[in-house]
Structure 1
Amino acid sequence: MESEADIHVHLASRLRNLRSAHGMTLETLAERTGVSRSMISLIERGKSSPTAAILNRLAGGLGVSLASLFAVEQSPEASPLACRNDQRTWQDPDSGYRRRRLSPPGFPSPLELAEVILPPAARVAYDSNPRTAGIGQQIWIIEGEIVVTTGPDTYRLGTGDCLAMRIDQPNVFHNPTDRPARYLVALAADPSHAGSLSRKLP
């Protein structure tokens, strides 16, 4: 199983590679995201533990989804199996939110699955990311309760509830209870938009 340090190294490499692929300087990405040049530099050198909100802003500035920052380059040789001990887990240093990538790394697929654990009283807010309009998301509550605000709408979800939502608008996840909430996140290409998930989740 990967350590927290390994995940920081992976995030640093992904950000550098995506920024380079888009021909962006640190200054350009900073201007597009509102994240300081010095902070981006620290993240790209593995010297800082970015929050989920900051990673989402950087992903938006790069024109990709947050999930793509944790992804591995796709390969036809990649295994279709992701054993439990090989599934990458990341924790938000701000809220304590934990995200475990369930899908086999690098295996070509139109679907991306992740398990999230949201601690008691935790709140995670994401700015809008219009560049992810071609991706649909659904969340299914495995246990616990969360309140989701997506755009102008708010939903209180309990065990067994499933919500389809857009990720190209502001979204807030809040656990108002004194117990952790655990839910499944599924992302897939939205058939109403051109393009594929593989283009959004490289």
Structure 2
Amino acid sequence: MSDLDLLTQSLARNVRRWRTERGFTLDTLAARAGVSRGMLIQIEQARTNPSLGTVVKIGDALGVSVTTLLDYEQGPKVRVVPAEQVLRLWHTDAGSYSRLLVGTEAPGPLEMWDWRLMPGESSSSDPHPTGTVELLHVTAGELTLTVEGVEYRVPAGASAFFEAGAAHTYGNDGDVPTELVLAVSVPPVH
């Protein structure tokens, strides 16, 4: 993929993300930015390469920098926390302890799930509402987490965080059952 294609897709994803997080309709953002609704549609569908001036206007209207709008790293974020990086916050000499496996801000509904995937099986999920995040911790086996076509290996003892507003799949490519604890945080409805 060329640098221009990468920037065009990043801009599309980030404008859509920030517009949705701000609760703006296309018409609202168009009015705030002084850019036509048609131009915004083309930008959000990655069908055009707008001028820098247009990007600046959109950034100003959204309250974010041009760098943020063009940042290709702003896509679905995935952070795998290796077992050795889990934080033990409290412990006793007798062996009791609490461990912070992985965390993120959760302003809306939060669900916790218990999953078991048998060898060779997988479960796909459509994108959740923008702003939805998932936290997971693998207790047995190895999870193959796929987010927007990119695979991440999460072995037993490791945890991960990802933005679930993108298509994702939980899979077991191993030969033993995979077990994990999964938390889903959905943003509140405004």
TMscore range, shorter length = 0.3 to 0.5
Bigger CA radius of gyration: 2
- TM (norm. structure 1) is 0.37
- TM (norm. structure 2) is 0.39
